[in-house]
C-alpha cells in the first residue's frame, strides 16, 4: 500500500544549547467535501529565553503555516521560558502524516548524553467508525523543567487525556522509529504505560539535568475502522496505536533535602485544590474558577535554601493565572485562579508543583 508521508520541519535559528523540551497536539476542526481536513496544531516550546524563534516548513505542501506564539510562563530566575504555538492549516491526508521537530541542542550538561533535539508526531486523520469524525490526538502538557531531590523517591502522574475516549499509553521514545536523537531513557526513571513516571532515589554522582523524551499514543477501546480520503479502510485493534505525540522536558536531579515528607521541603497540594487528573468541564468563553491551596513549611528555610512554586497554565489562560508562590508560610491560604476556554480544541488548565 502506497503511503504518502507529509513532513513539517521546524528549524531553529541557532544551534546554541538552549532547548528544554516540547509537546505537540492536533485537533481536526472541519472535514471538507474533497476530503481535506482543517487541522489545528498546538505545541509548547521550552527554551532558556523567550527570544529564541523558529520556522516551520512543509513538505511537500500542507497549506499556509503561520504560527502564532504566546508566552505561557517564565521561571522567576530566568532559567526557562515556555511559549505555546498555534497553527491552523488544511491537509489532504493520504493515510500518513508526520510532524518532525528537529534543530539545535538541549541545554548544557545533560547527564544522559542527549545533545540534539528531535521529536515526532504521527497525525492520523482517517474517519473513525465509532465517532464518524477524524481522530483527535492525545492531550498533555508539562512545564519545561521539573525538579526532584536526589534522595527522594517521587512519582509523577503525567497528564494524559484523549478526547475520543481512547486509552492513552506512555513510553520512552524509540531510536529505531526516529522519535529522538538519541532517545537515551534516563536510568534513574521508570515509566508505566499508564503514564506514571517514577524517579528512583540516587546518589550525588547522578545529580544534574536529564532529557526526558516520551511518546504518548492513543489505543481504541474496541476495534475500529479508519476510512481514508482515497477510500482505503484500515482496522485498528485495541493493541494498535492510532496516533502519537511527543512530550519532552528536563528533569533536574537536585542535592538532597533533610526530609522527603510532602508539605515540609517538598510542596503538597491541600483541599480545596482539585484532585490529581481531575476533569472539569466548561464552555468556550465561559470562565472556569478553581481554588488552589498548598504548603511547604521549610521550602525557603536556611536548611533547604529552596522555594516552592505552583505553576498554573495551559493555552488561553487569562491574566489571573500564572505562577503562584507557595511555601513562604506553614500553609498558603487558598487562592482562586481563572481559566477561560477560547477555542473548542483548548485542553484547559493544569497544576504543577515544583521546587527550585
pLDDT at site 265? 77
Q: What is the pLDDT of residues 256-279, one digit of tens each?
A: 999 998 878 787 778 877 777 677
Dihedral in degrees, nearest 10, Cα atoms 277, 280, 283, 284: -40
| pLDDT for the residue numbered 289 | 77
For residues 118 and 181, the answer to whether their CB atoms sit within 8 Å is yes
Q: What is the pLDDT of residues 298-340, one digit of tens each?
A: 755 433 444 445 554 444 333 334 444 443 344 555 666 666 6
- For residue 283, the model assigns a pLDDT of 75
Total residues belonging to the chain? 356
Output phi, psi for 76, to 5 deg. -55, -35
> According to the model, what pLDDT value does residue 301 have?
41
**Low-confidence residues in the chain, pLDDT < 50:** 1-15, 301-308, 312-330, 349, 354-356
Encode burial over 274-294: b for 16+ CB neighbours within 10 A, e otherwise.
eeeeeeeeeeeeeeeebebbb
In this prediction, residue 8 carries a pLDDT of 38
- With beta carbons less than 8 A apart as the criterion, state whether 256 and 207 touch: no
Amino acid at each position: 500500500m502506497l503511503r504518502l508521508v507529509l513532513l513539517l520541519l521546524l528549524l531553529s535559528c541557532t544551534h546554541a544549547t538552549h532547548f528544554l523540551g516540547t509537546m505537540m497536539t492536533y485537533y481536526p476542526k472541519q472535514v471538507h467535501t474533497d476530503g481535506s481536513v482543517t487541522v489545528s496544531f498546538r505545541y509548547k516550546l521550552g527554551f532558556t529565553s523567550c527570544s529564541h524563534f523558529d520556522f516551520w516548513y512543509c513538505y511537500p505542501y500542507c497549506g499556509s503555516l503561520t504560527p502564532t506564539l504566546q508566552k505561557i510562563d517564565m521561571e522567576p530566575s530566568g532559567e526557562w521560558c515556555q511559549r505555546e504555538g498555534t497553527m491552523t492549516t488544511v491537509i489532504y491526508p493520504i493515510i500518513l502524516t508526520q510532524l518532525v521537530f528537529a534543530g539545535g541542542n538541549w541545554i548544557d550538561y545533560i547527564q544522559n548524553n542527549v545533545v540534539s533535539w528531535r521529536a515526532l508526531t504521527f497525525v492520523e486523520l482517517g474517519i473513525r467508525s465509532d465517532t464518524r469524525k477524524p481522530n483527535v490526538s492525545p492531550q498533555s502538557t508539562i512545564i519545561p523543567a521539573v525538579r526532584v531531590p536526589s534522595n527522594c523517591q517521587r512519582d509523577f502522574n503525567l497528564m494524559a487525556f484523549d478526547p475520543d475516549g481512547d486509552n492513552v499509553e506512555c513510553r520512552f521514545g524509540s531510536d529505531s522509529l526516529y522519535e529522538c536523537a538519541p532517545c537515551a531513557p534516563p536510568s534513574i526513571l521508570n515509566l508505566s504505560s499508564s503514564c506514571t513516571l517514577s524517579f528512583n532515589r540516587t546518589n550525588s554522582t547522578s545529580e544534574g539535568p536529564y532529557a526526558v523524551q516520551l511518546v504518548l499514543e492513543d489505543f481504541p477501546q474496541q476495534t475500529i475502522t479508519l476510512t481514508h480520503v482515497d477510500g482505503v479502510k484500515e482496522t485498528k485493534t485495541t493493541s494498535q496505536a492510532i496516533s502519537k505525540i511527543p512530550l519532552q522536558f528536563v528533569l533536574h536531579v537536585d542535592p538532597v533535602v533533610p526530609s522527603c515528607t510532602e508539605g515540609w521541603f517538598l510542596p503538597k497540594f491541600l483541599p480545596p485544590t482539585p484532585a490529581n487528573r481531575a476533569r472539569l468541564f466548561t464552555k468556550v468563553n465561559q470562565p472556569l474558577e478553581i481554588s488552589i491551596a498548598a504548603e511547604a513549611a521549610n521550602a525557603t528555610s536556611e536548611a533547604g535554601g529552596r522555594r516552592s512554586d505552583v505553576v498554573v497554565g495551559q493555552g488561553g489562560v487569562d491574566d489571573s493565572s500564572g505562577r503562584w508562590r507557595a511555601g513562604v508560610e506553614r500553609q498558603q491560604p487558598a487562592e482562586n485562579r481563572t481559566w477561560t476556554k477560547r477555542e473548542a480544541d483548548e485542553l484547559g488548565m493544569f497544576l504543577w508543583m515544583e521546587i527550585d
